[in-house]
Structure 1
């Protein structure tokens, strides 16, 4: 946890952002004194961190400061630069651009490419929406947009933006929905006609979530018990099966793949299984088999009068 705090503080400072000890302490749910000790640790490592009192005070670096190359290994430099460059290609936010330029200041006698490459882009992602939401976050503006819900309903939403989240190959907006009066996730690929309004929101009433709160929102602990599902797939969809199931859950046979896995039987699983079409046969449990059959029969009835 300490390393995570140090990296957060360092990258924030490199992005020309002032660090407020109290805010950082709240983010990581530690004491202000602990953040002071983290600042001391970075200072002892040779990073000249300055402090300033007052309403606009905090900790900051000199504007033209460049880190000593020994602070990060060459591979770590490539790792950070890779992420910052890819995000900057989509959002074009000045602080991210500055971080990329800071990392460009490193000189290496033996340049090597990184073992990792991060691509947060998507073929169906409207980067204009990403830019507008990012701008709304930093200008504390409310956004409005049309949204396609999971029930395929077209709804109008007015949202106080809290966080942009990348998870499972997709971008999401987490914000306070004024229509539902609650926090909601919105998948960016389902957002249409997004506009940043001229209305500012009160940051004291809509505080960003700290790390633990955000983790709980993104990965909630589900109380629903898992069940053993048994599935048979044709070899034609082998690659896709390995995308969604672990190797130890899959048994390769001469003409098919057998999957035995523990899963929560919810709409997410049902949608996934339906996406395999006639390449899948459900062996158990019977409740899952019945649910899939009912959905397929309902789909067939749509063609009865055609």
Structure 2
């Protein structure tokens, strides 16, 4: 019997306790006869395994028995060594817990896998923070995480971008999301699921009453839907822009992904001057001006007229500013 097969049989018994041959067969997607053969092989190998007959019987491991993680493949051990992110774990107050878990994992591995995971940690480092932005201060993150885990309602004082800026909210916290180094809370208020930036929580009180999560709520699926809806809501218009080949190649480093993606997908054939005409989404004229100025003279707005006129006015004002020597202080 392969070591990976051995582990696949033992882990369900370790985590769930007594299981029937049929339950094991369903879990492992094998026949009941195969389960019987596996149990005989495990017993012959010295694993303290017991089979209880009868309707309520099944297979179980002796109390306290735990298998070492010798059934891990090299690829699985490498993946596990990259699974823990020290920064986010520390944010959640789990830094020491993560370190202890990693030590236990290394101690349970065979020598060759222990050496391999050590090499992985020296060759790969995962940094979740985005470029050109400081990490948000999140003094209330651990308290929010505790409420999420315990399914307890919270009352927060929250600072938002529109008036009134400071508001009080009673929420049912469903989950936390780490996006580009920033933590977000997904929570329900009056049955509406909304997103809150953790760094904008000014005060928090964990209430004693509990709540039930909606059946079937999937945090990852909700977050992807939220991102798609967020882009759809904020991109209210389009701009037609002519770009030089050089700036088109660099676009992904200069603008947000949705804009770069739209430019690539809409790019037409090069014109006589080599420039390519693209269509990009815009939030507003003011926002588009700031974004397009970043591209310099290698980007020309074709439409809409309002945006082209605003670009003309802004560039003329800049030229006037730099036409004169700086004023002495």
8 Å CA contact 1:175, 1:183 repeated in 2: yes
Q: What is the CA deviation profile of residues 159-205 of structure 1, one whole-angstrom value per residue up to 9, with x for unaligned ones?
A: 21111112344321111134xx511111234x13131322323215x
2:160 is aligned, of 148, 155, 159, to 148
8 Å CA contact 2:177, 2:184 repeated in 1: yes
8 Å CA contact 2:186, 2:193 repeated in 1: yes
- CA–CA distance in structure 2, aligned partners of residues 166 and 152 of structure 1: 26
- CA–CA distance in structure 1, aligned partners of residues 305 and 218 of structure 2: 39
- CA–CA distance in structure 2, aligned partners of residues 272 and 36 of structure 1: 59
For residue 89 of structure 1, give the secondary structure of its aligned residue in structure 2.
helix
For residue 100 of structure 1, give the secondary structure of its aligned residue in structure 2.
helix
Aligned pairs, number: 250
- CA–CA distance in structure 1, aligned partners of residues 48 and 139 of structure 2: 38
- After superposition, the CA RMSD in angstroms is 5.5
1:133 Cα shift? Answer: 1.3
- CA–CA distance in structure 1, aligned partners of residues 212 and 126 of structure 2: 32
Any unmatched runs of 5+ in structure 2? 1-7, 51-59, 315-329
The corresponding residue for 1:171 is 183
- CA–CA distance in structure 2, aligned partners of residues 226 and 35 of structure 1: 56
- CA–CA distance in structure 2, aligned partners of residues 120 and 48 of structure 1: 44
Q: Which has the larger radius of gyration?
A: 2
Specify whether residues 207 and 241 from structure 1 end up closer, same or farther in structure 2 by C-alpha distance, changes over 3 A only: same
The corresponding residue for 1:37 is 26
- CA–CA distance in structure 1, aligned partners of residues 27 and 189 of structure 2: 36
TM-score (normalizing by structure 1): 0.56
8 Å CA contact 1:165, 1:173 repeated in 2: yes
Specify whether residues 82 and 289 from structure 1 end up closer, same or farther in structure 2 by C-alpha distance, changes over 3 A only: same
The corresponding residue for 2:254 is 241
The corresponding residue for 1:188 is 198
Please state if 1:81 is matched with 2:81: yes
- CA–CA distance in structure 2, aligned partners of residues 263 and 282 of structure 1: 12
Any unmatched runs of 5+ in structure 1? 1-9, 20-32, 51-58, 297-306
Q: Which has the larger share of helix? A: 2
